Amino acid sequence: MNQDIIKIVTAYGMVLVESQHKYFLEESVDNLEHIPAIKRIADTAYRYLIANGISIDNSTKVKEELIHHGKDLFIHLWIRSIIEDEEIPSKKDIREAEKTFEKILKTGKE
């Protein structure tokens, strides 16, 4: 039963993260609004799982998976915009995208 809840919450959380990312793209939402929204989705999934008797370890794994998915989408978009500018993305560009995501995730500021 617990594995079913974990799978359902993870799948639903992924859909929410992807929906948030689509909104980010279509509505030109600022990074300072988008990344905290990803964090809220992951935090909410975590709290729901805990409230339903799922262990802290398993709940944390789901939270981290959702945040990681949001981060991957963010980095992919960052790199895609560099390519669209007809430039070749570098490892430095990827690190910059990762650092931007992580900083806003932790502090809510750029």
d(CA 20, CA 29): 10
Looking at residue 34, what is its pLDDT? 96
* Extended beta strands in the chain, E state: none
- Compute the distance between CA of residue 53 and CA of residue 73 in angstroms, rounded to an integer: 30
Q: What is the pLDDT of residues 44-79, one digit of tens each?
A: 999 999 999 999 999 999 999 999 999 999 999 999
pLDDT at site 87: 83
Q: What pLDDT shows up at residue 84? A: 84
